[in-house]
């Protein structure tokens, strides 16, 4: 009875929350885009967004380790390059300042993807222990 944290490792704040926020942003953008494309209302946009989120979640949880980290590395590098390019182009910062700015999304996304992978394995272990 003394250590309730060991019983419920699933209930704690994780860096994987960043990936959840990204999932919400991507699915809502996809839902809104599809609804606008087909002249549908906000209700349809929400339903499409939920379907996209479920599809992405299903795909991500089914990826093997190498594919997951490959996709995570590509997304992280793309985000870092986008931040670097934005800082060098429209903002016209120096190369050093742009590189430091690019490290922010690289470190955050890298940590989030790394931790999310471990979080998914913890969820699986927790779900298997419940059955």
Query: pTM for this structure?
Result: 0.62
Length, in residues, of the chain: 131
Q: Could you report the per-residue pLDDT of 79-123, keeping only the tens digit for each?
A: 889 889 999 998 899 999 999 999 998 988 888 888 878 777 777
Q: Could you report the per-residue pLDDT of 58-72, keeping only the tens digit for each?
A: 887 788 888 888 988
**b/e burial code for range 34-53 (CB count within 10 A of at least 16 → b):** bbeeeeeeeeebeebbeebb
């Amino acid at each position: 009875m003394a250590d309730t944290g060991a019983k419920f490792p699933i209930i704690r704040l994780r860096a994987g929350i960043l990936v959840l926020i990204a999932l919400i942003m991507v699915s809502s953008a996809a839902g809104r885009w599809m609804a606008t494309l087909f002249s549908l209302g906000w209700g349809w946009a929400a339903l499409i967004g939920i379907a996209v989120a479920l599809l992405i979640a299903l795909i991500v949880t089914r990826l093997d380790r190498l594919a997951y980290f490959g996709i995570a590395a590509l997304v992280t590098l793309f985000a870092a390059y986008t931040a670097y390019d934005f800082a060098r182009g429209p903002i016209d910062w120096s190369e050093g300042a742009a590189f430091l700015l690019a490290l922010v999304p690289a470190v955050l996304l890298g940590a989030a993807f790394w931790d999310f992978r471990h979080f998914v394995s913890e969820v699986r272990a927790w779900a298997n222990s419940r059955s």
